[in-house]
Each structure stands twice: as C-alpha cells, then as structure tokens.
Amino acid sequence: MMARNAKRKRSIMQRILLSLLIIAVLTTSFLVASLSVGGAFTELTNNALDMLDERTQNKRQPLQDSMIDHWSNLESTAETIRSVINRHLVVKNLDIQDMKTDAALNAEIVMDIAPTLVSKLRAGGTTGIFVILNGIGIADQPDTWAGIYLRDADPSANNSTNSDLLMLRGLPPVSRELGVSLDSYWQASFTFTKDNGDYFFKPMEAVQMGTSDDPAHYGYWCMPFQLDENNPTAAMTYTMPILDKTGQVLGVIGVDITTSYLTSILNSGEFIRTEPGSYVLGIHRSDEGILVAAAAGSSYKQYFNPGETVLMPTQMWDSNSIALKGSRNGKTMYASVMPLQLYSPNTAFEDDQWVLMGMQPEDSLMAFSNKFRQLLAAAMITSMLLCVVVALISSRKMTKPITSLVKQVKDADPKTELQLDPTNIAEIDILAEAIEDLHHDVAESAERLASILEMTGMRVGVVEVPLDGDKAYCSPGFFELLACDEIPHEGDQISRETFRKVMLDCFTEAVDDDIWRFNVRGEELYLRYKQVGNEHKIVGTLMDVTDEMQKRMDLERARDVDSLTGIPNRRAFTRITQELFGRRRDEMGVTAMIMVDLDNLKYLNSTYGHDTGDSFIRAFAHALGAFEEDGHSVVARRSGDEFYMLLYGYENRDELEDHINAAWAQVATQGLLLPDGSFYRFRASGGLAWYPDDATTLSKLLHYADFAMYKVKQENKGSLARFDMSVYTEEAFLLNAREALDRLIDNQLMHYAYQPVVEVKSGEIWGYELLMRPDVPELKSPGAVLRLAKAQGKLHHIERITWFCGLESAKMNIERGMLKKDTKLFINSIASQKMDLVERQHIIDCYSDILPSVVLEVTESEDNNEDFTQRKIKFIRSNGGMVAIDDYGTGYNSELALVQIPCDIVKVDASFVRNVDTDINKQALVKNLISYARARNIAVLAEGVETREEMETLIGFGVDYLQGFYLGMPREKPQQLLQSVRQEVLNFSRRQQFL
C-alpha cells in the first residue's frame, strides 16, 4: 500500500483542477469560435501574410527572370571573347602565361573585344558590363589587371552613338575607339583591394576548386560594392569566368546593376504606391539575417536607416514569412521572403541564398486581425479566471475524504486486520473495501511464498530495510546463507546497525558486479546479492550461485587452452599480452616478441597424413617449452603451425638473447620419431622484435616480428631473424612510393647518364649506353623505379619515357655538339612492353636522324612478350638500328635467347666479367660465347669492366667492345675517353693481333 501511494505523481485535486481548466479552455475557445465569423480568426493573419506572399511573388518572378535569363546570360559573349583571346595567342604564338606579363598583348585583346561588350551591354539590360583578363594591365605594374568596364546609367534608353556610356576601366585608346567618355573615377586598369575583389577573385577561385567545365557553374552574384573608395556608385555584379578549352581561367566577364537602378526596378507597382509596401533584395543567411543589396519603398525608409546592411528577423512566422523590427522607429514590419533560384544545385555559390522580400508595416498588414486578437484575449482571460475559481472550490470538496482515507491506509499495521472509516462517497467506499481485502490477501500470500521457497530447496534469502525506521527484516534463509548463527536477531528482525555491520564484515571479495566470494567453513561459496529500492526502502535478495560460478570458471579455463597442444591459444595470448602492455607494463623490462612457423609441416602432412602432422605440432609446442621461464614467458599457438612467444621482464637484451639462442638451438636438435621409424627434426623460421628497442606497442611489435618472419621465410628458412628497421623501411617505402612514381611519370622527372662503350679495334668510343637516372628523391635507382612500375602496372609509361626522353636527350646533345651523330646509343627497352603505332610514328617523325645509331638492348625475362619484342626489333632494324642482347649469362638471357632473338651484339653480363682474369670457369664461358658469336657474325660486348686485368683478359679473348667503370663512369654528359685508357686498349688490341 505504501509503495502504491509513493508512486502517485499528481494529486487528485490537481487532476480535477486540470480537467476543469481544460473544460474552461475548451469552452472559451468555443465561445471565441462562435464570436469569430465561421472560425475565420486564424485565417485572418494567414490571409494577410498570403497576400503579402502573393505580392512578393508577383515581383519575384520577373526579377528572377531578368537576373537569370537576361542579365546573367553571358555564355555566348564569353565564348566570343574566348575565341578572340585564343586567336591573339595563336597568331602571336603565345601562351596564356604570357598574358601575365605582356600588357601590350592584353591591350590588343581588350581593344578587340570592346565592341562585343558594347552590343552586349545594349542588349543585356544591365547598367554595366566588364571583362577582366587574367593578366597584367599596365606594363611593369604587377598588381594591375587588364580589362574594360563600361557603364550605362540608364539601360532603358538606347543611343545610336555611345554617348550615354561611360568607361570606368580601360586604356584610353579603347574609349576613343568606342567614342565612350571616361567616367570621373576612370582608371586605366583594374586594381583590387581586400574589400572589393570578390567579384573578380571568387569565381576564379571557384574554378580552381570546382570540377565542372561549364563556366556558368562558377557564375557569382556579388553584393553591391563600390568599385573604388572614391566612387560613390554602388552596384551589384554577376561575374562568370572565361575558360579556355583546357579549363584555364582567361579572365572574367561580368555585368553590374547599380543600386539606384535596382532600386528603381523594385520601386514600382501598386504595392509600393498604395499599400506602404517595400521591397528588399538581398542574401538570406540563416544565422546572420538578411544582407541588404537594395531596398525600395517609402515604408522601408520610415522603418529602417538608409545605411542598414543587415536585417535581423525577430520572429519566423512560417517558412517564408518573418517579422522585423524597424531600426528607426522600433515598430514591426512583416516580410515575405521569397528565394530567388539564381544558382544551380551543386555549384560554387549555391549557399548564397538570394531572396526578394516584400515588406509591409504591421499596422497596415495586421490592423484587422490585431483588433480581433485583443478582443479574444480579453474574453479568454475572463472565462479562465472564472473557471479556476470554480475548479478550486469543487476539487477541494472532492479530495477531502480521500486524503483522510489515505492517511488511514498509511498508518495501518500490516500485522493486524485493516478497518477503514467510510467516506460516504460510493465509489471510494468500494475502493476502501477492496483495499481491506487486498491487505488481507497480501499477508496470506506472503506467508505462502515463504513456505514454497523453503520447499524448493533453493538457497535464497531476502532482506527489507525501510529507510525511515531502524529495523531490517530478513528471511530465515538470509542468515542461513551467511552462516552467521551468532547474528543477534529477533525473529525476522535485526537492527539496521547490525545489518550494516554484517554486510560490511561478510561482503569483502567481489567476483563480479553482484557476485561475492565467501569462505564458509573452509568451503568456497559464491553468493549473488541484488538490491532494489526507492526513497522509502531497500529490498535485497541473496542467492547461492556456487554451482553456476564453478561451471563458468571451468569453461573459461578451457577457452584459453589450445585443444591440440595444451598450451595457451591465441585468445589467451592476446589477453595476457594486453594485460602486460596495459596495467602490467612495469613488469616488461626487456621483452622479445617471437613469431615461429614450422617450415616443413606441409611435407609431413602430405607424406604421413594429418595425424602425424598434428603429432608434429604437438611435439613442437612441447619443445618450445625450452623458451619458457616461470613468470617471464608466454608461449602460445597462433594457428596451424604458427606460434607466438613473448619473453618478458628481462634485465637486459644480452641476457635474453643468450636465453633465446640456447633455446632455439635446443629446439633445433629435437624432432619427432615418425611412424616409419625415421627421426624428423624440427625446422622452423622465426621472427623476433625487441621491446622497447623496436617498438613499444603490442600491435607494432607483432607486426615487426611477423615481418621479420616473413622476410626469413623468403630468404633464409630455418633461422630466427631479428627485425631490421632499415629493411622494413625500404620495403614499406616501395609500397608507399606510388605517388613518387606517378610524379616521375607525369612530369618525366628523369634524365640520362651516358656510359661509354669502347671499340677494341680502334680504341675509340663507339657508343654510349643511356642509363636512366630518376629525378625523384624517393626513388633513387632505376631498379627501384622499374620494380615499382612493374608492381603498379606502369611499365609501359616507363618504356615510353625511356624512348622519348632518351632520344630527346641524345638529340639535344647532338645539337650541342657533345655527341657525334653516328655514335651508337644503347637504349634499354623493357621487353614486356610494346610500343604502339602512334608512338612509333612519333619516334620516326621526331628522331629519324638518330634512329640508325640506336642499339636496342633486349632483356629476356619471365614475363616477356615475344611478339612485342619481335616487333620492336623489327621497328629498330627497319630504321637502320641494331639489336643487342643484354645481361647475357644471367637468368633468362641464356643461349636460348641467342638463338631466338636475331641480334647484332651480345652483352656479357658483369657477373661474368668480374674476376674473369682469374676465374677459369668464367674464362671458358666467355671464350665459348665468343667463338659461337663469331660464327654467327655477332659482336661481343663485355659489361662491367672494372680493372685493367679484366680488360686485358677480355681483349685477349677477342671481345669486340668494352664497357665499365674502368673505361668510363656514367656521366650526365657524354665524356671523352681518357687518353691513357685508350692507349692501353690499343696496346692490348694490337698485341692480340700478333698472337
């Protein structure tokens, strides 16, 4: 009963009062409705606002049409101007960039486009037109922009001469040519300050940010501004960039509408003349209000100061009606705000919401409805007051017997039968009887429940602590569970103080949110204690959950163990390591993160079956025990044949290193006795990363260990590798250098070094090998470029650049006289890449002179495309060039290539030249090659000659050409052969003839 009373939120009196008030309001409303004619009251305001909307709409449509279809219709003029500019640039063979510095060029362009602008101004209905070129206005004055600005104060009057026009900006010859007089604030060129450059810079900036190639998408309506601080005429402008075919900004074209002309356009119609209405054109910013571009109408002048730039709504009526407070007289004006759709969606300036506002003073707009509202308010207030009084009296009368009943119920003793006084209100007396019955039933069922609980054998205890007394009521089970026979209690009651003490003494070890561990007579016991309460009492239940907890703990243990090996699994490892890297970080000291992977499991699985494989894994897991040291290690199986080991808490790295090496060696001696009786040793690869030297976070450490293992798997299976940051960085770099490669390709950021090829017979330089040198800091070697390009499928670009840049470089050097025309040029082609017809034609067009000197170096490789290679060879041959097989003797470039590829020269790889003077095997190979080549009329070139001895030996064997550091380093410019070296070559060569 107490609880039900406590939940009461609102008194009966309040309820009755409220109902009566609602009735009062309804009655008043009804009264008002019957007063107002057919409920038209609310409509009055809306009608007034609708009328304002309609008037605004009537003005808005033609204005918007003018702005969009008429004033800002500049595309075709812009196109004309674009073509004029283009013609000038083409005729003079100049570039857009030249406009930045060539004032004379810009002057000619402006002179040419001026008549177009005059006719556009005549047709466009605007008060001004201008074009600003993206280029200098006056020679040597860098902050001037070239262009022309014409003004027609009265667009409605058309003059056959240009006598009504003024030139605001532009060079004097233009004004003479057009017969246009100079404005009193005329200047020869455009200059901009921070405040008045928007109309020029904003659309230009928008082009830089935008993606569209339609200049109209960058069109910009600029709020009225003064062209310069002296010029009192303010005008709003529309500007649109003029773009060339590639999207570069040639300049802007724009029109202006002076504020006074704009005002005169707004300042017409019945609304303005008769209704004291006004119009305002401006930009609506939801947070800043309405920025005023132009305003017309006498009421506006009465309400607002002429210099007002921002109007702040004081009230939003509906989506387009607002109220404003006049800054001059503090009175209210209503405005209908109609948006002008000047910008297409998703264009640069669509956030500038231009609006037209029709405005009317509240006095005139709302005169009728205001009077009505006042009348209504008076009626409502009177009837409400009346209702409140009546409601107060009647509700008090009603609630009095109920409150007395409530008091009786509250004071009732739960142990005794309840007897309530009659109230003589029929419904409430029935309720009182029901309460008496309920009281009886509740007492009975409580007893029943207690005995049922006892019978089920569930060990449950309940305690109830009323907050306003000093007693607590406990069920017998409560004391039983706590096994505290000695608690002083009196039946089911104990004192609150004792209860508190018991709770504090017994509940010491929390396992979970509400589960506590107890040690009762040497037995582990888990009890769940839950309590709920309100402002009057707390009820707690205590339940024995020992069985449940034990099951749960068993399960948890099982989840952390790998079922195959019995060592911790990945989950356990993650949990422990996270703990270590988290709150136990102090314990870590020097730590090694090791990742191990069996090398030969696959073989075992396929040969002896998976059972054997499993045994092998099990045995290996056992063997890894060698790494374990109590309290310093976690060894876990990650998955399959991968294992994690974390060895932590060591004083120094050496100590741990010794331990690891010993353990690794020990593991390596062990193995598994296979079913066939043979002994199979463990062979595993591992990666190791150090904490804190390599990394301090778990994820990085894992990543690094994994990386080290991955590297060792690639290169040196069966060992334990330490993580090497430099290797990692190199690898990571290669992955990340994509951007650098793109830059290299896009801008052809490479040049060529020339390494001489010397003809043995003459001792002269016969040719140069062109070696690619990347100019991108991230990519140091050609190898890196090629590897990366291959990985990213961009080899074709490299091949193309190789040809064009290489040949261009050679051509330049020939033109500069640094290279003789018939000197051979060895160019490294990428065999897997083709050249298409267009590229081949381009090469013929540009470099036909030097093609006969080209020696195409072909490299065989696994992904070679026979067809592409053959075609390239054919192409070079048909243009008089030669073909060489590169890197002969390595990898794929073997005898087979020599047979398959029709070539003129074979280049012996540097690895065979190294120490050829002492290595008999290499000598044999070179000799064989030379005799083979001689028979087929193929010349032999030895690469990588670094010592005098190597050179002597090679010449002795009859090599035709030599290349290498000994003969000349690769240089940016083709170098001459050292006289001494030349002499040596000749000496060795001649001696050869004697033999």
Partner 1 sequence: MKRFLSILLALTLFSVTASAQTVKLSPDNPQVLTLWHYYNGMQQQTFDQLVLEFNETVGMEKGIIIEPMSQGGVNDLTDKLMDAANRKTGADNMPDIFAAYADTAHAVNKMGLVADISAYMTEEEQAEYMDSYMAEGRLDAQGGLKVFPIAKSTEMTLINKTEWDAFVADTGADINKLATWEGVVEISKAYYEWSGGKAFFGRDAFANYILIGSLQLGVEMFQVENDVMTLNIDDQVMRRLWDNYVVPYVNGWFGAYGRFRSDDVKTGQLVALVGSTSGALYFPKEVTRDDGSTYAIESLALPLPNFEGTSPCAVQQGAGMVVTKSTPEKEYAATVFLKWFTEVENNIAFSLSSGYLPVKKAANDPEVLHEIAIERGVTGLLHDIIHTGAQITSTYRLYTNNAFDNGYEARQVVDTSMVEAAEHAKVELALLVEAGMAREEAIERLTGDEAFEAWLAKFKADMEQVLNN
Where along the sequence are the contacts to partner 1 (CB under 8 A)?
103-104, 107, 137-139, 141, 144, 152-154, 156-157, 159, 162-164, 166, 171-173, 175-176, 179-186, 188-189, 231-233, 260, 264, 267, 276, 298, 301-302, 306
Q: How far is the CB of 196 from partner 1 (least distance, A)?
A: 17
Minimum gap (Å) between residue 230 Cβ and partner 1: 8
Q: What is the DSSP string of 453-499?
A: HHHHT--EEEEEEETTSSEEEE-HHHHHHHT-TTS--BTTEEEHHHH
3-state secondary structure 579-631: HHHCCCHHHCEEEEEEEEEECCHHHHHHHHCHHHHHHHHHHHHHHHHHHCCCC
Nearest to partner 1 of 179, 625 (CB atom): 179
Q: Which of 608, 610, 619 is nearest to 678 (CA)?
A: 608
Supply the minimum distance, in Å, between the C-beta of residue 187 and partner 1. 8
Nearer to partner 1 among residue 231 and residue 792 (C-beta): 231
Residue 175 or 320 having the CB closest to partner 1: 175
DSSP letter string, 301-319: HHHS-TT--EE-EEEE-SS
How far is it, in rounded angstroms, from Cα 396 to Cα 12? 9
Q: What angle do CA 981, 987, 989 make, to 5 degrees?
A: 105
Q: Which is nearer to partner 1, 163 or 848 (CB)?
A: 163
Q: Provide the minimum distance between the beta carbon of 837 and partner 1 in the complex, in angstroms, as a whole number.
A: 51
Nearest approach, Cβ of residue 879 and partner 1 (Å): 53
| Residue whose CB is less far from partner 1, 292 or 601 | 292
- The CB-of-272 to partner 1 minimum distance in angstroms stands at 9
CB of 244 to partner 1, least distance (A): 24
The phi and psi torsions of 287 (rounded to 5 degrees) equal -95, -25
Nearer to partner 1, 103 or 506 (CB): 103
Q: Smallest distance, Å, CB 366 to partner 1? A: 16
Q: How far is the CB of 291 from partner 1 (least distance, A)?
A: 21
What SS3 class is residue 142?
strand
Instruction: State phi, psi for 647 to the nearest 5 degrees.
Output: -110, 120
Q: Which has the closest alpha carbon to 331: 291, 374, 310, 362? A: 362
Give least dist CB 250 to partner 1, A.
Answer: 20
Nearer residue to partner 1 within complex by CB, 138 or 465: 138
From residue 645, give the alpha-carbon distance in Å to each of 348, 574, 597, 658.
58, 11, 11, 16
For the bound state, the minimum distance from the C-beta of residue 81 to partner 1, rounded and expressed in Å, comes to: 20
CA distance 460 to 544: 7
Residues 6+ apart with CB under 8 A from 278: 272, 295, 296, 297, 298, 299, 300, 301, 303, 333, 358, 359, 360
Per the CB < 8 A criterion, the answer to whether 390 and 319 are in contact is no
Q: Cβ 388 to partner 1, closest distance in Å?
A: 42
Residue type, 64: Q
Specify the residue, 103 or 255, whose C-beta has the smaller distance to partner 1: 103
Report in angstroms how near the CB of residue 264 gets to partner 1 at its nearest. 6
Shortest distance, position 182 Cβ to partner 1, whole Å: 4
- Kindly tell me which of 144 and 353 has the beta carbon lying closer to partner 1: 144
Kindly list the distances between the CA atom of residue 902 and the CA atoms of 414, 864, 875, 907, in Å, as whole numbers in the listed order.
Answer: 115, 16, 13, 14
**Closer to partner 1 by Cβ: residue 104 or 458:** 104
Q: Count of CB atoms within 10 A of residue 871's CB?
A: 14
Q: Which tokens go with 438? A: 């309920």
In the complex with partner 1, the residue whose CB is nearer, 104 or 438, is 104
Closest alpha carbon to 890 in 905, 874, 878, 908 = 908
Q: How far is the CB of 60 from partner 1 (least distance, A)?
A: 21
SS (H, E, C) 860-916: CCCCCCHHHHHHHHHHHHHCCCEEEEEEECCCCCCHHHHHHCCCCEEEECHHHHCCC
Residue 795 and residue 776: Cα distance in Å, rounded? Answer: 17
Return the number of the residue (246 or 274) whose C-beta is nearest partner 1.
274
3-state secondary structure of 233: coil
Give 177-186 contacts, CB < 8 A, sequence gap 24+. Answer: 177/111, 177/114, 178/114, 178/115, 178/118, 178/150, 180/118, 180/150, 183/151, 183/231, 185/227, 185/228, 185/230, 185/231
Query: Is residue 407 helix, strand or coil?
Result: helix
CB of 51 to partner 1, least distance (A): 20
Closer by beta carbon to partner 1, 151 or else 797: 151
CB of 181 to partner 1, least distance (A): 3
Rounded to whole angstroms, the maximal C-alpha distance in the chain is 149
Helix (H) or strand (E) holding 841: helix 837-847
Rounded CA gap, 645 and 627, in Å?
A: 8
Nearer of residues 103 and 109 to partner 1, judged by Cβ: 103
167/634 with CB nearer partner 1: 167
Q: Which two tokens mark 32?
A: 């008002």
Alpha-carbon distance 67 to 293, whole Å? 14
User: Helix, strand, coil proportions of the chain in percent (round to 5)?
Assistant: 45, 25, 30
In the complex with partner 1, the residue whose CB is nearer, 107 or 926, is 107
Q: Taking the complex as a whole, how short is the minimal distance between the CB of residue 99 and partner 1, in angstroms?
A: 15
> Which one, 170 or 613, has the nearer CB to partner 1?
170
DSSP code string of 648-699: EEES-HHHHHHHHHHHHHHHHH-EEE-TTS-EEE--EEEEEEEETTT-SSHH
Tokens (6 digits) for 388:
């409140």
* Residue 184 structure tokens: 């009193």
Q: Considering beta carbons, is residue 186 or 957 the nearer one to partner 1?
A: 186
CA atoms within 13 A on the CB side of 313: 22
- For tokens 């904003």, the residue is 202
